[in-house]
C-alpha cells in the first residue's frame, strides 16, 4: 500500500464499478479495432480538458458544449479519422455518432460525448461507422478492447487502474498518443473513470492538477493536435462519502489520480513514434514552478537532445543550449547537470567523466537528465523520447 | 538592374573593396579548413546581432563587449569547437585568438572580433589554433576559402554579393548553418561586408531589419544555438555620400541588404542537415506583421509538416494544425490554403484536388505553402526544410 492507493493488475478503464465498454472494426482504418464505446451504468459527473489549438475538431466542439452541464454517461471514440477541418457536416457527424452510441448504451443522445483521432481534413465515413457501431456490445471486461480501439500509431495499448483504500474506490484510465504530442495536452486521447463520488467542481480541479504534472509535461514532437481530449467520469457507485476540496480524502484522490496520469504519460512518451528510449528530465533549483516546468519541457522536447540520446552520444552541451533557450533567466555558471548519476557539468563547466560509462547509460531504455539551476526552489519533471529514423519514416508516409 | 542593385557572379565576402580574407586547416576539425580571418584594410563601422540563448559562447561575449564602440577591423572564426560553457578560460582563449589574428591583420587586438561554431563544452585546442593561425595569409580573393572555413555540417559554402548602382558600392556575405537553426538567429554565423559609407546607427538598424525578414524567418530544427553571430562591417572605401536614415540611398541599401540576407537564409534552409526540399511558407491576411511571422514560422518549423514534405504527402491538415497552435487567434472557417497553385482548403474546408499532381509538386526541390488567414493585412514569409532520416543520422552521431 503506497500513499493510500495501489495499482491493480491488468487494470483498465472498466476496472471501476459500473463501467462497461466495447469495440468494433468499422473499417475506418484498414484493419484493427477503430471504434469504441465507454459507458457507465448510471449518469456521471464529468470533467474535461481539451486542446488549446485554435483549430478544434468537431468532437472537441461537441464535448465542450455538452460538458457545460457537467454530466455525461458515456463516450464514443473512433480512430483513423480526426473529423477536424470538416465544418458543419463534421459537427453533424459527431452528433450522429453520439446518438448512435446512446442507443447502444441506452441513454439520451446529449448524455454521450465523442472523440476522434486520425488524419485531419477528411469526413467521417458515416456508412461504415453506422454499420460498425451496431456491432458493439458493452461488457464489464470491455476496457482492454476499448483501449485498443483508440490506438493510431501506438504500438501498445495504454491502460492502468489504481485502487484507493479509504473509500474503497477505483480510478481507471486508457490513453492513446504516439505523435503530434506536445505540452498543452498532446494528440492524445485519454479517458479516465472512477466509481468514487466526487464533488463536481473538485473533479474538474483535480483533473487539471493531474494533467499539469503528467500529460502537460510530455512532448514527442512539438506539435499540438486539433483533437486532444482528456475526460474523467465519476459515477459514485462505490458509495464513498463524497470527496470534496480541502479534505484528507481529496488529497488521496488527487495523489492517486496524479500517479495514474503520470503512469499513462510515461507510457505515451515511451511509445512515442519510433522511440527506443524514454527521456526523463528533472529540473530543480528553478526560480519557481513555472520556470522549472518550462526548462524541463524545453530540454525534453529539444530535437538535438533527442537525436543525441538516439545516438547514445553524451553531447551534454545540447542540454545546456536547450535550457538556455527556454526563456527562463538561467545563469550558466550556476548549473549542475547529471546524466543518471554521472556529473557532466558543475557550475556550468565541463567535468571529466567516463565517456564509455555515459554511452552505456544512454543505451538503456530509460535515460535521466537532472539539472539543478541553483537559483530557487522550483522543481518539475518532464518526459520525452529519442528521435529516430523510424519517427521520420512513420511520419513521412501517413496519409499516402 | 533590379530595384537599384544586382547580384554579382561568384560574389563573396571579399567582393566589396578593401576586404581581404584567408583560411587554414588548424586541426580543430579532423579535416578541411577550420580557421578563417576576414579583415578590412581600414577600420570599419560595425554592427552585430547575437544569440538570445541565455548560454552565450565566449566569442559572443567578446563581440558584445567590443562592439560597444561600434568599430572593428576584422574577425577571426573557427569551426569544430563552439568555445561555449568554457568559463573564464574560454573567454581568455577567445581574446588570445583575436590577438593572434590582429597580428596577422596588422591592427590592435581590440579591433578584432571572434566567432566559433562546433561542439559545446570543449576547450579550444589552443596549440593547434596558434600554429594554424600563422599559416593564414590574407588576400583580396580569400573570401571563398573563408566561407569554407566556417562550415560545420554544411554541404556547400554560402556566399553572395550584390552591387548597388547609386553610390557604386558592394555588399558581400558569407554564412554557415545547417543545424540548431531556429528563429532568433540560428546556429548560424554570418559575416557581411560593404565598402559603402553608412551612418553607424543606421547600420545597426538596417542589419536588424534585414535579419527580421531573413535569418529570423528560418527554422531547421527549433534549437537556438549558443553561438549565433551576425556581423556587418562597413569600411566606406567606395567613397559614396554617407548613407543615413530616411534618405533614398538608405532605402536602396536596406533593400539590397535585405535581399542579400534572404538569399543567404534560403541557402541555409535548403542546406539544412539532411534536407532535400526547401519549404517556403507565405502567410497573408494576418491581423498584423507579428502574427503573420508567428504563423509562418510555426508552420515552417513543424516536425509533422516537415516529415509530410519529406514523404511527398499532401497531408495539409498538418499545416492547419500547426497554424492553429501558433498562438495567433486564427479563425478556421476563414483560412485558404494552397500548395504551390493547388488549393487544398478554402474557408477552412477540404477542397477536391488532384492528389497525384500534389505529390508531384511536393517532389520538387522547392515547395510553397500559402495561407491566407483573411483577417487583416499582415504578411510574412518563412523558410524551412523537410525532415529526413539523414537529419536523424547526422545528429545522432555528432561528438562520437
What are A274-316's pLDDT values in tens digits? 889 999 999 999 999 999 999 999 999 888 899 999 999 999 9
Show residues of chain A in contact with B358, CB under 8 Å: none
Enumerate residues 45 to 64 of chain A having a beta carbon within 8 A of any beta carbon in chain B: 52-56
What letters, b where the CB count within 10 A reaches 16 and e where it falls short, cover A126-141?
eebbeebbeebebeee
CATH code for the structural domain at B278-396: 3.10.20.340
Q: Is A277 helix (H, G, I), strand (E, B) or coil?
A: coil
Yes or no, beta carbons of B330 and A399 under 8 Å apart: no
Show residues of chain A in contact with B118, CB under 8 Å: none
Yes or no, beta carbons of A324 and B55 under 8 Å apart: yes
| A242 and chain B in contact, CB less than 8 A | no
Yes or no, beta carbons of A400 and B312 under 8 Å apart: yes
Element (H, E) at A360: helix A355-362
* DSSP class per residue in B36-85: EEEEEEEEEEEEEEE---SS--HHHHHHHHHGGG-EEEEEEEEEEE---S
Cα–Cα distance, B82 to B108 (Å, whole number): 24
Catalytic residue among B14, B107, B187, B388: B187
Yes or no, beta carbons of A85 and B223 under 8 Å apart: no
Closest Cα of chain B to A163: distance in Å? 37
| B272 and chain A in contact, CB less than 8 A | no
Say which of B121, B325, B348 has its CB closest to residue A53.
Answer: B325
Q: Per residue, what are the HEC states of B151-211?
A: CCCCCCCEEEEEEECCCCEEEEEEEECCCCECCCCECCEEEEEECCCECHHHHHHHHHHHH
| Angle, in degrees to the nearest 10, between helices A389-396 and B303-310 | 70
Say which of B303, B344, B349 has its CB closest to residue A223.
Answer: B303
Enumerate residues 287 to 306 of chain A having a beta carbon within 8 A of any beta carbon in chain B: 302-304
What are B342-359's pLDDT values in tens digits? 999 999 999 999 999 999
Say which of B85, B324, B395 has its CB closest to residue A345.
Answer: B85
Counting residues of chain A whose pLDDT is more than 90, the rounded percentage is 79
Chain A interface disruption, residue of B177, B307, B319, most A CBs within 10 A: B307
What are B174-230's pLDDT values in tens digits? 999 866 555 444 468 999 999 999 999 999 999 999 999 999 888 766 567 888 899
Q: Catalytic site residue B187?
A: yes
Closest Cα of chain B to A242: distance in Å? 38
Is the complex ipTM more than 0.85?
Answer: no
- Taking 3-state DSSP, the helix, strand and coil percentages for chain A, each rounded to the nearest 5, stand at 35, 30, 40
| B249 and chain A in contact, CB less than 8 A | no
Show residues of chain B in contact with A328, CB under 8 Å: 54
Enumerate residues 183 to 212 of chain A having a beta carbon within 8 A of any beta carbon in chain B: 184
pLDDT score at A184: 43
- Report the candidate in A257, A239, A248 with the shortest Cα–Cα distance to residue A190: A257
Show residues of chain B in contact with A324, CB under 8 Å: 53-56, 224, 226
Cα–Cα distance, B284 to A356 (Å, whole number): 52
Residue B381, beta-bridge partner list:
B282
Domain assignments of chain A as residue spans, ordered by start: 5-270, 278-396
Q: Is the pTM of this model over 0.80?
A: yes
Q: Is B266 helix (H, G, I), strand (E, B) or coil?
A: helix
pLDDT range class, residue A178, cuts 50, 70, 90: low
| A27 and chain B in contact, CB less than 8 A | no
Cα–Cα distance, B395 to A212 (Å, whole number): 31
pLDDT score at A294: 93
Q: What is the pLDDT along chain B (400 residues), one digit of tens a residue?
A: 457 999 999 999 999 999 999 999 999 999 999 999 999 999 999 999 998 888 899 999 999 999 999 999 999 999 999 999 999 999 999 999 999 999 999 999 999 999 999 888 899 999 999 999 999 999 999 999 999 999 888 889 999 999 999 999 999 999 998 665 554 444 689 999 999 999 999 999 999 999 999 998 887 665 678 888 999 999 999 999 999 999 999 999 999 999 999 999 999 888 888 889 999 999 999 999 999 999 999 999 888 899 999 999 999 989 998 999 898 999 999 999 999 999 999 999 999 999 999 999 999 999 999 999 999 999 999 999 998 888 788 778 655 4
Q: Which residue of A has its CA nearest to B226?
A: A321
Q: Which residue of A has its CA nearest to B328?
A: A54
Q: Decide if pLDDT at A183 tops 90.
A: no
Show residues of chain B in contact with A304, CB under 8 Å: 179-180, 221, 223, 395
Q: In angstroms, how far apart are the furthest CA atoms of chain A?
A: 67
Catalytic residue among A187, A229, A298, A370: A187
Closest Cα of chain A to B389: distance in Å? 5
Cα–Cα distance, B259 to B257 (Å, whole number): 6
Top CATH class of B5-270 equals alpha beta
Amino acid at each position: 500500500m503506497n500513499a493510500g492507493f495501489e495499482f491493480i493488475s491488468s487494470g483498465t478503464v472498466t476496472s471501476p464499478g459500473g463501467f462497461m465498454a466495447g469495440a468494433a472494426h468499422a473499417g475506418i482504418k484498414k484493419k484493427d479495432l477503430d471504434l469504441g464505446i465507454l459507458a457507465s451504468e448510471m449518469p456521471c459527473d464529468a470533467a474535461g480538458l481539451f486542446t488549446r489549438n485554435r483549430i478544434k475538431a468537431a468532437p472537441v466542439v461537441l464535448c465542450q458544449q455538452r460538458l457545460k452541464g457537467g454530466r455525461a454517461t458515456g463516450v464514443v471514440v473512433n480512430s483513423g479519422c480526426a473529423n477536424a477541418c470538416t465544418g458543419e457536416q463534421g459537427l453533424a457527424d459527431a452528433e450522429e455518432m453520439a446518438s448512435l452510441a446512446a442507443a447502444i448504451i441506452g441513454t439520451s443522445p446529449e448524455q454521450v460525448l465523442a472523440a476522434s483521432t486520425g488524419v485531419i481534413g477528411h469526413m467521417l465515413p458515416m456508412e461504415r461507422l453506422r454499420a460498425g457501431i451496431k456491432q458493439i456490445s458493452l461488457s464489464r471486461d470491455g476496457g482492454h478492447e476499448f483501449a485498443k480501439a483508440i490506438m493510431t500509431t501506438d504500438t501498445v495499448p495504454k491502460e492502468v487502474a489504481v485502487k484507493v483504500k479509504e473509500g474503497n474506490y477505483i480510478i481507471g484510465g486508457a490513453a492513446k498518443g504516439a505523435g503530434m504530442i506536445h505540452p498543452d495536452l498532446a494528440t492524445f486521447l485519454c479517458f479516465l473513470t472512477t466509481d468514487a463520488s466526487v464533488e463536481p467542481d473538485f473533479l474538474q480541479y483535480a483533473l487539471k492538477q493531474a494533467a499539469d504534472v503528467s500529460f502537460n509535461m510530455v512532448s514527442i514532437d512539438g506539435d499540438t493536435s486539433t483533437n486532444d481530449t482528456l475526460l474523467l467520469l465519476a459515477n459514485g457507485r462505490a458509495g464513498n462519502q463524497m470527496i470534496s476540496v480541502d479534505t484528507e480524502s481529496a488529497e488521496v484522490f488527487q495523489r492517486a489520480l496524479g500517479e495514474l496520469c503520470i503512469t499513462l504519460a510515461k507510457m505515451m512518451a515511451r511509445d512515442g513514434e519510433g522511440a527506443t528510449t524514454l527521456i526523463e528530465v528533472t529540473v530543480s533549483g528553478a526560480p519557481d514552478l513555472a520556470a522549472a516546468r518550462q526548462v524541463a519541457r524545453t530540454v525534453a522536447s529539444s530535437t538535438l537532445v533527442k537525436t543525441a540520446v538516439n545516438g547514445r552520444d553524451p553531447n551534454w552541451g545540447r542540454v545546456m543550449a536547450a535550457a538556455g533557450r527556454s526563456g527562463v533567466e538561467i545563469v550558466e555558471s550556476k548549473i549542475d547537470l547529471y546524466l543518471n548519476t554521472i556529473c557532466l557539468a558543475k557550475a556550468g563547466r565541463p567535468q571529466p567523466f567516463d565517456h564509455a560509462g555515459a554511452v552505456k547509460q544512454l543505451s538503456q531504455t530509460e535515460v535521466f537528465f537532472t539539472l539543478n539551476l541553483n537559483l530557487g526552489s522550483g522543481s518539475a519533471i518532464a518526459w520525452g523520447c529519442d528521435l529516430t529514423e523510424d519517427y521520420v519514416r512513420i511520419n513521412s508516409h501517413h496519409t499516402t
